[in-house]
């Protein structure tokens, strides 16, 4: 998301100099908008009255059955639906797990930078503008593709992430879950000036105040609420990472579950995952913090089960956020054959842990030829018996496990409830070298009176600016010490 510009301001008020400044700040990802994009993405017309003047594109895997899930994926500023289709990785999992994807597209006719109007109440409210157009696309998909109205999800990057948050708030009866990458809390801004304040992270509200913005978006709605994933890079200087904290506060408050984590673990790409469970023990809000990542959608090109996307402008090679978001929503449970055969194994439990291993046991399932054990959403083993020991893990690391019974043909049944296990010992230290400004923005240091001090140790780091660089060592989590003379990770 680059500095947001309202279409009215751009069309009637903005000066040539101001527009030139905005253009200089941008790295435009692309402007082509074909009627039929490459690789199976098709433009759809006539999906409704379209009050927000959006374009609808869709990817529907061949032979998709009725009652399959639906994902709505919103691009960022300067991007197109085809950019997001190509870079995000959603088509891969639509094919593998069986669901349709709608890619709404806004254009320069709405906003000079092709940003969704997350900051404009005329575009982001229930029954209004662009938000209403997206809701019409969902209804069209339910009617045309037979999509399951109980399994509709929305995701977005940057301005698309801000609009995704607004849609979750305005249409909680439509969306079962959402994922917001480098985005903003729902209804954070109602003007261009407010949008800039939101992006910089200077809007400070309590969790209850953030939650009230959701509750006020659809007065009288009492739930159920969407389950929300939040992705944010610690080195994002376009959308400050304070917005990820605000999003967490907003949605945990809506769920009434507080801001104390249920579990914290590590994933590839220097990713820290923090989970907040609902009263039943099921994850309701999950945050993914990527150390050192800038502004963009995390992707991980490659053929692996948990790899996806194409690296490029605002598609950053770190981790496949699409894969982990889909697992969080349970889209992997909709794989053809999944849930239609053997029942879910019961009694999954952690039998023991060491510094580098986790031992699991579960109750045997009648008719099972083997079992699929998954760690953090990726299958890691297929033991024949009802137990397994996962080895080679990092000390002090937390992992989430599920088990699925397989019949003689290898067809999976329904996955078990998840359990989380943490290995013994301490997590290895991490080292960060950056400017004092970047350390403060990333939450590794704080500023007082123009000077910077490391979080935890309080080590003095000098002036708060981009000209002083230091190395900080993190151990334990959240405790930083100055390590310019050497930092053993």
Residues 6+ apart with CB under 8 A from 54: 104, 105, 106, 110, 130, 133, 134, 137
Give the Cα separation of 385 and 374 in Å (integer).
Answer: 15
- Could you tell me the CA-to-CA distances from 286 to 126, 191, 264, 326 in Å, in that order? 25, 29, 10, 12
Please classify residue 196 by burial: count the beta carbons closer than 10 Å to its beta carbon, then call 0-12 exposed, 13-18 middle and 19+ buried: middle
Compute φ and ψ for 289, nearest 5 degrees. -105, 125
Q: Which DSSP string corresponds to 333-370?
A: GGSTTTTTSSPPPP--EEEEE-SSEEEEE----TT-SE
What are the helix and strand counts (H, E) for the chain?
A: 12, 26
Is 158 considered catalytic here?
yes
Single out the catalytic residue among 88, 114, 124, 158.
158
Give the Cα separation of 288 and 290 in Å (integer).
Answer: 6
Give the Cα separation of 89 and 217 in Å (integer).
Answer: 31
Q: Any idea which residues carry the catalytic annotation?
A: 158
């Amino acid at each position: 998301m680059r500095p947001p510009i309202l279409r009215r301001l751009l069309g009637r008020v903005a000066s040539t100099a101001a527009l030139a400044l905005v253009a200089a700040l941008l790295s435009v990802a692309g402007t082509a908008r074909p009627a039929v994009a490459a690789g199976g993405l098709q433009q759809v017309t006539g999906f409704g009255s379209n009050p927000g003047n959006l374009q609808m594109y869709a990817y529907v895997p061949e032979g998709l059955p009725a009652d399959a899930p639906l994902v709505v994926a919103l691009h960022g500023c300067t991007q197109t639906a085809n950019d997001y289709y190509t870079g995000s990785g959603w088509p891969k999992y639509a094919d593998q797990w069986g669901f349709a994807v709608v890619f709404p597209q806004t254009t320069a006719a709405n906003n000079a930078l092709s940003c969704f109007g997350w900051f404009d109440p005329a575009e982001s409210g229930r029954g209004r503008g662009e938000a209403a157009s997206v809701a019409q696309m969902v209804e069209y998909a339910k009617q045309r593709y037979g999509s399951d109205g109980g399994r509709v999800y929305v995701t977005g990057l940057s301005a698309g992430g801000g609009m995704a948050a607004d849609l979750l708030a305005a249409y909680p009866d439509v969306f079962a879950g959402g994922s917001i990458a480098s985005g903003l809390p729902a209804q954070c801004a109602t003007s261009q000036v407010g949008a800039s304040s939101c992006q910089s992270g200077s809007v400070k509200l309590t969790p209850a105040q953030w939650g009230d913005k959701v509750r006020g978006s659809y007065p009288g709605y009492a739930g159920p609420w969407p389950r929300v994933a939040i992705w944010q890079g610690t080195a994002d200087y376009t959308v400050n990472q304070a917005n990820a904290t605000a999003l967490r506060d907003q949605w945990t408050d809506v769920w009434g579950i507080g801001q104390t984590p249920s579990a914290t673990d590590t994933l590839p790409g220097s990713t820290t995952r923090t989970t907040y469970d609902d009263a039943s023990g099921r994850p309701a809000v999950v945050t993914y913090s990527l150390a050192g990542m800038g502004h963009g959608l995390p992707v991980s090109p490659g053929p692996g089960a948990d790899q996806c996307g194409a690296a490029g402008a605002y598609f950053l090679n770190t981790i496949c956020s699409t894969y982990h978001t889909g697992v969080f929503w349970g889209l992997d449970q909709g794989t053809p054959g999944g849930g239609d055969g053997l029942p879910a194994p019961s009694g999954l439990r952690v039998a023991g842990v060491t510094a580098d291993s986790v031992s699991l046991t579960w109750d045997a399932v009648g008719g099972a030829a083997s079992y699929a054990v998954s760690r953090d959403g990726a299958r890691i083993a297929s033991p024949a018996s009802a137990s397994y020991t996962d080895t080679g893990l990092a000390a002090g690391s937390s992992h989430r496990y599920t088990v699925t019974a397989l019949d003689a043909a290898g067809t999976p049944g329904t996955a078990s409830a998840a359990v989380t296990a943490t290995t013994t010992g301490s997590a290895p230290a991490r080292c960060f070298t950056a400017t004092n400004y970047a350390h403060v923005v990333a939450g590794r240091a704080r500023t007082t009176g123009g000077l910077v001090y490391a979080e935890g140790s309080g080590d003095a780091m000098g002036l708060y600016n981009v000209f002083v660089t230091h190395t900080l060592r993190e151990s334990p989590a959240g405790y930083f010490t100055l390590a310019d003379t050497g930092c053993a990770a």
